Amino acid sequence: MTEPAIEGQALIAQMLMKHRSELFATLIAAIRNPHDAEDLLQDVSLAASTSWAQYKPGTPFLAWAREIARRRILDFAKKKSRRFALLEPDVLEALDAAAVTVETEQPLEPRRDALRQCLTKVDGDARRILELRYGEKREVSRIAEIVGRSVQGSYAVIKRTKQLLRECIVARLKGAP
């Protein structure tokens, strides 16, 4: 493989990692099954990697990758036609357009950065509960057992912490420290 080809592959891999959650959200919204969406995300990643030469650096990568995802969704629906109810193509296009609009008007990267900064302020039980819930994807009943709280108490900590994080993110996005 030539050096430009390797650089192109590296760029595509980097962009796929950066936009993984947005692509997954597109897939899950269309097919509503997380396991199938994960499989399709792998297909989209492979298709993007093999067709990297078609991508023009400087153009919106996410729109390009979403088009690949849309084609994979339609292929998936054809294969599963008897067991699968796909959203109408015009609805899929409207979802895609809305996603592009949201990404343009409210880019995720500044919000992610704000969330990372705000998470540094969460400690103790709240931090542990968030790690168990969102990092390890544990059920709240199991989290309650692990941290020695009631289920209601664990839900309350999650709710309060999410509200504090939301407020912190909003403040950071408005420029407050």
Give residue-wise pLDDT tens across range 158-172: 999 999 999 999 999
CATH (one of 3.30.70.2660, 1.20.1090.10, 1.10.1740.10, 3.80.30.20) for 3-106:
1.10.1740.10
Domain ranges of the chain: 3-106, 109-173
CA-CA distance, 109 to 19, in Å (whole number)?
Answer: 10
Write the CB contacts of 26 (distance below 8 Å, at least 6 apart in sequence): 66, 69, 70, 95, 96, 99
Nearest CA to 126 out of 159, 100, 95 is that of: 159
For the chain, give the mean pLDDT. 84
Tell me the pLDDT band of 53, cut-offs 50, 70 and 90. confident
Has residue 142 got a pLDDT over 70? yes
Tell me the pLDDT band of 83, cut-offs 50, 70 and 90. low
Fold of 109-173: Arc Repressor Mutant, subunit A (1.10.10)
Angle at 50 between CA 49 and CA 54, to 5 degrees: 90
Cα 102 → chain centroid: 14
- Coil vs helix vs strand at 109: helix
Tell me the pLDDT band of 85, cut-offs 50, 70 and 90. low
- Coil vs helix vs strand at 12: helix
Lowest mean pLDDT: which of 16-30, 35-49, 59-73, 103-117?
103-117
| C-alpha distances in Å from residue 89, one per residue of 10, 41, 86 | 32, 19, 8
For the whole model, what pTM was predicted? 0.53
